[in-house]
């Protein structure tokens, strides 16, 4: 019998994916799966690590012996904003599969808008055969990526491979080879050159509601796409949806692709569902691969038990 203390798992993911992943995860220690009703009233005081995504608020009061908390996703605002947390390290999920999925979504949406995907989908629906003339190339379009962490930096790299002109923005100065970057003081200059704005920012006090009419109005209006386009796969709380809708109606924005929303699931009566210039995906741009998540946690626990520092620890002051 293992002498190691348990890992408690409380993930609001598809139940089947968690169960399947747990069959081969954490073979050397007990696992307390809070999705199993048999554990509803279990004593959690002996748990050493917690793997969570939108867990039961009582979890951290019950699991008093934790030494580290692992987020089930790249973001941690769901933990920092909604729970009273013990003073423990919180570790973000950083993995190749998650990073690749996010970059794939960003590239897909940029190409969709570049190649008139919305217009052609409408023509197909109405059985119209009409080639749209004067289509720009990727090299003609500037994609501005807001958020240059692991996900943003990878998206920048892959957009450049496709041929887009790419620039980047982050609150603090960052350097990426071959890419012009801007910091907080250069936001207006960054926006003024951007045709497709990609939002990959974490949700913090500084970024909450940052995507509003004032920001959208500073995007380049004379670009080759006929108006600026907004993509958001970061956090829904970073956009002011009422203002976003109005900007999509009055032409301040030509179009948008949205994977995240202020309230999720997106309300069935939201106008975003039926707007012809909007693509909606259900927070699926970088859905966590649960097996990859557990491999990540196992690797971090291995570092911890070897006396080495954990990786990807959240700076609670910065919020990411």
State the DSSP code for 99.
Answer: H
User: Which residues are within 8 A (CB) of 100 and not within 5 positions of it... i.e. 6 or more apart?
Assistant: 154
Q: Tell me if 251 sits within 8 A of 226, measured CB to CB.
A: no
Q: Of 92, 113, 171, 235, which one is the catalytic site residue?
A: 235
126 is known as an active-site residue: no
Phi-psi region of 191 (alpha: psi -120 to 50; beta: other; left: phi over 0): alpha
235 is known as an active-site residue: yes
User: Which residues are within 8 A (CB) of 161 and not within 5 positions of it... i.e. 6 or more apart?
Assistant: none
User: Which residues are within 8 A (CB) of 213 and not within 5 positions of it... i.e. 6 or more apart?
Assistant: 240, 243, 246, 247, 252
Strand-pair partners of 169: 146, 182
Q: In this structure, what are the phi and psi dihedrals at residue 189, rounded to the nearest 5 degrees?
A: -65, -40
CA atoms within 13 A on the CB side of 95: 26
Element (H, E) at 117: helix 117-125
Considering only CA atoms, which of 245, 284, 311 is closest in space to residue 109?
284
Would you list the DSSP string of 181-247? EE-GGGHHHHHHT-SEEEE-----TTTTT-BSHHHHTTS-SSSTTSS-EEEE-S-GGGB-HHHHHHH
Tokens in use for 264? Answer: 């999720």
Q: Of 283, 291, 295, 316, which one is the catalytic site residue?
A: 283
By annotation, the residues acting in catalysis are: 235, 283
């Amino acid at each position: 019998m293992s002498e190691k203390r348990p890992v408690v798992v409380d993930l609001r993911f598809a139940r089947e994916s968690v169960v399947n992943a747990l069959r081969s995860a954490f073979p050397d220690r007990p696992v307390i799966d809070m999705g199993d009703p048999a554990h509803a009233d279990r004593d959690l005081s002996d748990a050493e690590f917690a793997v969570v995504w939108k867990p039961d608020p009582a979890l951290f009061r019950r699991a008093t012996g934790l030494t580290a908390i692992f987020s089930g996703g790249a973001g941690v605002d769901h933990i920092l904003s909604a729970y009273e947390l013990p003073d423990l390290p919180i570790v973000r999920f950083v993995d190749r599969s998650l990073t690749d999925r996010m970059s794939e979504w960003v590239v897909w949406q940029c190409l969709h808008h570049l190649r008139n995907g919305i217009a052609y989908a409408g023509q197909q629906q109405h059985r119209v055969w009409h080639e749209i003339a004067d289509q720009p190339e990727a090299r003609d379009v500037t994609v501005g990526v807001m958020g240059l962490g692991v996900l943003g930096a990878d998206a920048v790299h892959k957009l450049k491979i496709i041929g887009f002109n790419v620039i980047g923005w982050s609150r603090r100065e960052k350097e990426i080879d071959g890419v012009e970057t801007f910091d907080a003081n250069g936001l207006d200059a960054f926006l003024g050159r951007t045709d497709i704005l990609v939002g990959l920012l974490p949700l913090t006090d500084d970024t909450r509601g940052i995507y509003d009419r004032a920001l959208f109005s500073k995007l380049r209006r004379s670009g080759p796409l006929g108006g600026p386009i907004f993509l958001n796969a970061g956090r829904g709380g970073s956009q002011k949806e009422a203002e976003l809708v109005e900007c999509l109606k009055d032409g301040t924005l030509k179009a948008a692709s949205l994977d995240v929303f202020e309230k999720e699931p997106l309300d069935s009566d939201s106008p975003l569902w039926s707007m012809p210039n909007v693509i909606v995906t259900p927070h699926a741009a970088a859905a966590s691969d649960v097996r990859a998540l557990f491999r990540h946690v196992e690797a971090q626990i291995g570092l911890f038990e070897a006396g080495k520092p954990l990786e990807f620890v959240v700076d609670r002051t910065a919020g990411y």
